[in-house]
Structures are given as structure tokens and as C-alpha cells.
Amino acid sequence: MLEKLLELGRKYAEEVEIYQINYFGSQVSFENGVLKDIESVIQSGISLRVIKDGFLGFSYTKNLLDPETLVRNAIDSLRGEVKVEFNFPEKKDLKTLTTYDPEIENLSNTKMVEEGQRISEILSEITKTQINVGINKVVSEIRVLNSRGVDYNIKSSVYYCYTAAMYPGSYSSVMRIVADKKFREFSKDDIDYIAFLFNNSKKEVKPKSGRMKVLFLPDTMYVLIWRLVYGTNGKNVYEKTTPLIDKIGTQIFDSSITIYDNPLDDSLPGARSFDDEGVECRLLPIVEKGVLKNFYFDLYYGGKLNIGSTGHGYKATDWGQESIRFRPSPSLEHLHMAPGDKDFYEMIRSIDRGIIVSQALGAHSGNIPNGDFSIGLSPGIYIENGEIIGHVKDAMVAGNIYEVMKNVVSIENKIYLSNMGVFPSVTFDNVSVAVKE
């Protein structure tokens, strides 16, 4: 079917690319130990890109009932005169990855409900508070083929579980995420982590505002990383909206910080050997020992700057939108931050006065292009003399990542899959914290 579509497209255009996705997801959620929802999601679709006379056309459909119309829509969209300076990639021998575990097929909704109940019962007994749990399983298949010989496909499985201990009378919580290619039990270490942070911070406290040490958990490191992702995006480099344009080879962070994108790490779910444009994926250092190493590009913006794609063209979306509707754009989908040498609990004991950012409100606030952030703490967990004293409401942490990330105190010796990538906990010094009087 797709081969016929390819041939049909070649009758009207010089180059043709087809992207197909089939996606199945199932999820259960618990609120305060009570089963709230069981949902299933099925998505599928085909998108078509064509290049003719140096211009790009695009169309998509959720079912290929009328291939002629799909091609005609792509050709008609050439009137938008989106000029391109690239060709679709040629076929290469890709690295073989293990991205799918067939055990995921045996994971029933009943099993996920039982796991949610188990976690809720154990943690609610230990913490005496509301426990919310969400468990998902996803199986997806992606195929990319084009008129230059590419025909790649990949099947992936993902298991994902988040658990949150809620502070009474608020939406604030302490949480942990676990993920794998198959079912993975929420472990004793995961439970102990939540119980330790929550039970020791039950008391509400109001410390004085000022500059102090701030510990970002893996689940809140995205607040800082988001600014770096923007700053190194090829689109923003081309449009000159990033402060990092002339900073390749320059020390921008503390020398203890190394951040890279590694789509080829199939020890984690979601690994990829090719991006959504059929470009070969590779490990890409972003920051190495504090030094800025690379920007990342898709075909479009890599072509604009005559650099080429770095294998980072993805149909990235926000807020659960269907990816099939979007053209690829530069995206870091497999970020890693190198671990340090400090045990998490040792990191807490070493803080004389500081705040743990447990959850963040308004992560989009501040001048993201400039690296600024200003977030509400939901909550902040206050530390004095190496001990957790309580949690803080109505507090904010603010700064600029190109200043804050030069003042690293310690980095955790373990990394965790969390929002936007795989990160350790990190403590920074001399960060501005404002607490409402």
C-alpha cells in the first residue's frame, strides 16, 4: 500500500517521503487509592511530504482510503512556497536496537490495576496521605520510506508508572516515575524515597527569603534543561533568537555538567536508530564538562544553514496532540545528564540551608530564550543543617541557567527517567528563593 503511494507521489514530485505510525496505549489511574479511570488510546495515520522545484508540500490522513487525494493535497500545499535547501536522505545500514519487549503484550489492565492498588495501599499506610498513581503501557510502530531508497521501521514498547504523595489541601506532591520496555514493579527503594521526603516534610514552615542552596530533583531538572534545549535548537540558531549562537567551544556551565542526546541507548524505552525523517540517529554531545559542543538540527534548518541534519527531526508535540498532523522539527528526544558521585541522602545532609524543588509551577515562566526561569514551588522542601524541616508554600525560585548552572554543589550518583530525559538530582548554590511573608 505505502509502496504504491510512493510511486503515485513520484508522478507529481521530484522527491517523496512517507511517514506512518500505529500507536496503542492503555492506562489506569488511581486517586486517593480509588480506581479513577481505565482508558485505551489508538492512533494511526500517514503523512506525506513532497519536494518539487525546491519547495516542500505536506499532507496527512488517518486512513489511506483515497491515496490520490492525499497526494493532491500535498501538491496543492506547494502553493505555500515553503522553500527548502535539502534532499531526503539516502538509505544507510542502521544500528540494530532492541526497542520492543513482547512481555508488554501480556500486561493486562487487571495487572496494572493490581499494581496501582498495591502501591496505593503501601504508601498510604506509610504516609497517611492521599496517594495518586498512574500506569500506562504503549506499543508503537513507525515506518519511514522515501523515493531515495529509505525504508525503515521500528516497533517500541513502553511501560510507565508515576506515583505521587499529596500534601493535604493542595495539589503539591512528592513523586517518582519508573519506566521500562516491559512491566517493572514500583520497588521498595522507590517507595522509601517518596516516604522519606514526604514524612519528613509534613510540617509547613516559612523560612526567610534569600539566596541559598537549591536541590532540583530528577523530575524538576526539566525546568533548567528546557532553557538549554531552546538555546541549542537549530531553528533558534537559524533565527538568531538564542544567546548561544557564538558559544560553541565556550564554557557555559560548571565543569561537572555533561549533557548529551543518545537515541541509541536501548537500555531505556523509546530508543531510535532513525528519526522521523529517516535520518540516521547518533549520540550528540550538547555540553561536555561544562563546554557547549553542538546545536541540533532537522533537515529543514540544517539545510538552511548548510550544515545538514544531526538526526533530530521529530514530529514533536505538546499536550497529547496527534503527531501525524505535524511536520518534523528539531527536537531532543533522548537527553541524558551524566551522574555525579554523591548519594542522594548524602546530598541532603550536606546542605546547611536550602530548598528541594519537589514540583514546579509555571515552568514556562520567565524569558526562556534568554535562559531565565521563575517557578512556583509545589512544594519546596526546606532543609537546615542537613535535615528536612518541613515544606514551604507560596515560594518561588528564580534565576538564569547560564549563571545557576555554573554553581554546582553536588550531583547524584544515579540517574532517573523523568520529564524531558534522564537526569540525576543536582544541588546548586546561591540561588534566589522568595517566600511569601
Helices 188-199 and 109-127: crossing angle in degrees, nearest 10, is: 40
437 residues of the chain, pLDDT tens digit each:
899 999 999 999 999 999 999 999 999 999 999 999 999 989 899 999 999 999 999 999 998 889 999 999 999 999 999 999 999 999 999 999 999 999 999 999 999 999 999 999 999 999 999 999 999 999 999 999 999 999 999 999 999 999 999 999 888 999 999 999 999 999 999 999 999 999 999 999 999 999 999 999 999 999 999 999 999 999 999 999 999 999 999 999 999 999 999 999 999 999 999 999 999 999 999 999 999 999 999 999 999 999 999 999 999 876 556 788 899 999 999 999 999 999 999 999 999 999 999 999 988 888 899 999 999 998 999 999 999 999 998 899 999 999 999 999 999 999 999 989 999 999 999 999 999 87
What's the confidence (pLDDT) of residue 65?
85
C-alpha span between 231 and 227 (Å, rounded): 6
C-alpha span between 232 and 136 (Å, rounded): 31
Indicate the helix (H) or strand (E) that contains 376: strand 372-377
Overall pTM surpassing 0.75 (yes/no): yes
What's the confidence (pLDDT) of residue 278?
98
C-alpha span between 410 and 408 (Å, rounded): 6
The amino acid present at 58, given as its one-letter code, is F
Which residues lie closer than 8 Å to 407 by C-beta, 6 or more apart? 254, 428, 429, 430, 431
For the chain, domains (ranges, CATH) are: 2-192 (3.30.2290.10), 203-437 (no CATH)
What's the confidence (pLDDT) of residue 9?
96
Q: Do 117 and 64 contact (CB within 8 A), yes or no?
A: no
